[in-house]
Structure 1
Amino acid sequence: MDKKELIIYGIGRFAEYVQYVFDQDSSYTVKAFCIENSLYDAENNQLPLPLISLDEFLEKYTPSQYTVFVAVGNNEVRTRIFSIFKEYGYSLANYISSKSRFWPNLELGENIFVDEGCVLQPFIKLEDNIILFTSQIGHHSHIGKNSLMSGAKTGGNVRIGENCYIGLNASIKQNLTIADNTIIGMGCIMEKDTNKNEVYTHKGTLKRKISSIQISSRFLT
């Protein structure tokens, strides 16, 4: 069966990763990368496929022929570029890794990326423009559009608002609501609802006043 043709917006390591998994593990074949004119530099392109400017793409590559994926980790930029493609009538692809774990009743918007390390329980809804890296999402949870979760975990019946960022090893207790534009940093444990635009950070790892050699001689021999 012929694969559908896909253009990836983005030029970073994430875009390269996205191109690889779409080609290896989807019904799409990636034909090129594109980027805004202010970042366009075809002569120094280090990506494995041609690079075209966004203006050229919108002029010459029709929505009837090409599907798009926006491979940008920054929520604000990804939202803006997603809106441009929708304005011009393009469909945006989803990637759900065959190596992830999910159920048939998973509800999906557009431009969604679920990597190989994700575990999604039943009755989950993912709105448009969401990225999930190595995250575990509890049953009956709802993630709002333009959000990104990286190595995070939720209990069941959690609602995450729009434009949220949830960092590595953050945990969200069941039945909570994380409001729009919330940032939850690495290692945070969330036990209460949040309000819009709040930022949470973990105290962080402390450097001990002892060397690894001293530790080895005292405890590891």
Structure 2
Amino acid sequence: MSERKKLIIIGMGETACLAYEYFTHDSEYEVVAFAVEGAYYTQPTFYDLPVCRLEEIQTHYPPNKFTAFVALSSGRLNRDRTKLYLSLKEKGYQLASYVSSKAFVWHNVKIGENCFILENNTLQPFVEVGNNVILWSGNHIGHRSKILDHCFITSHVVISGFCTVGEYSFLGVNSAIADNTTLAKDNFIGMGAVINKNTDENTIYTGNPAQPSKLSAKKFCKVKES
């Protein structure tokens, strides 16, 4: 068995705990440390592994020897995770992706970096998943659909064939997207919402059939609007 790749998990919240479990027991990576921004540094060890300040990560774990994974959830419409993802890229790190051995991923599916694809996901032929995308458990991604960068798909979401999910979008549990539908950038799709036509940018959609909210998605998720 070849030596496992050394991985630093960025974060110490629940997503980081789950990342540790999945990478440790179902991947080619060995988690060797955690890192957090200095303002959130509260303890020197976590899971009996060292914790370093993100500002010092290059000194302790240089990018030519270690890989990183940013383990944050969907805070501020995925901006929190994206901020650290871009920071690690600028520091020269390769970002690992986790794809569960219990997910169905067709051979020609394309998956970017810093993705977290959990069990019982179905990714059909010609699907494309961008960078920094989380697919929680039990979703269906239909053939030739594209999920663009920095999205969060919760659980039991159905994205039908030939769809596009715009950057930074969040899709709630049991939501469904009809064939040939494009979700615009910065969409917040509520739990159980059914989207059967193209959407507008920076918009919350709820209901069946889904209707837009008067409150913008960025305002709801506390993202500064330009």
Q: When the two structures are superposed, what TM-score results if normalisation uses the length of structure 1? A: 0.88
Q: 1:201-212 alignment to 2 at 5 Å? A: 201-202=206-207
* Letter of the structure 2 residue corresponding to residue 181 of structure 1: D
1:142 aligned to which of 139, 146, 152: 146
Q: Which residue of 1 aligns with 2:92?
A: 89
* Letter of the structure 2 residue corresponding to residue 54 of structure 1: L
Q: Which residue of 2 aligns with 1:132?
A: 135
**1:61: Cα distance to partner?**
1.4
Q: Secondary structure at the match of 1:42?
A: coil
Q: 1:18-57 alignment to 2 at 5 Å? A: 18-42=19-43, 47-57=47-57
Q: Which residue of 1 aligns with 2:198?
A: 193
Q: Secondary structure at the match of 2:68?
A: strand
1:109 aligned to which of 108, 112, 122: 112
Q: 1:42 touches 1:52 (CA, 8 Å); kept in 2? A: no
* Letter of the structure 1 residue corresponding to residue 148 of structure 2: G
Q: Which residue of 1 aligns with 2:61?
A: 61
Q: 1:11 touches 1:47 (CA, 8 Å); kept in 2? A: no
In 1: Cα distance, 2:128 partner to 2:149 partner: 10
* Letter of the structure 2 residue corresponding to residue 139 of structure 1: H
Relative to its length, the structure with more helix (as a share) is: 1
In 2: Cα distance, 1:182 partner to 1:162 partner: 8
**1:46: Cα distance to partner?**
5.3
In 2: Cα distance, 1:29 partner to 1:150 partner: 26
Q: Secondary structure at the match of 1:50?
A: strand
Q: Secondary structure at the match of 2:52?
A: strand
Q: When the two structures are superposed, what TM-score results if normalisation uses the length of structure 2? A: 0.86
Q: Deviation per CA, 1:41-96, whole angstroms, max 9, x where unpaired?
A: 115x5544222110121333111110000010121111100110111110000111
* Letter of the structure 1 residue corresponding to residue 11 of structure 2: G
* Letter of the structure 2 residue corresponding to residue 172 of structure 1: I
Give the total of aligned pairs. Answer: 202
In 2: Cα distance, 1:100 partner to 1:5 partner: 23
**1:153: Cα distance to partner?**
1.0
Relative to its length, the structure with more strand (as a share) is: 2
RMSD: 1.3
2:182 aligned to which of 177, 183, 194: 177
| Percentage of pairs with the same residue | 38
In 1: Cα distance, 2:190 partner to 2:47 partner: 31
* Letter of the structure 2 residue corresponding to residue 87 of structure 1: E
* Letter of the structure 2 residue corresponding to residue 104 of structure 1: H
Q: Which residue of 1 aligns with 2:221?
A: none
Q: 2:34 touches 2:46 (CA, 8 Å); kept in 1? A: no
Q: Secondary structure at the match of 1:79?
A: helix
- Give 5+ residue unaligned stretches, structure 2: 209-226
1:168 aligned to which of 150, 169, 173: 173
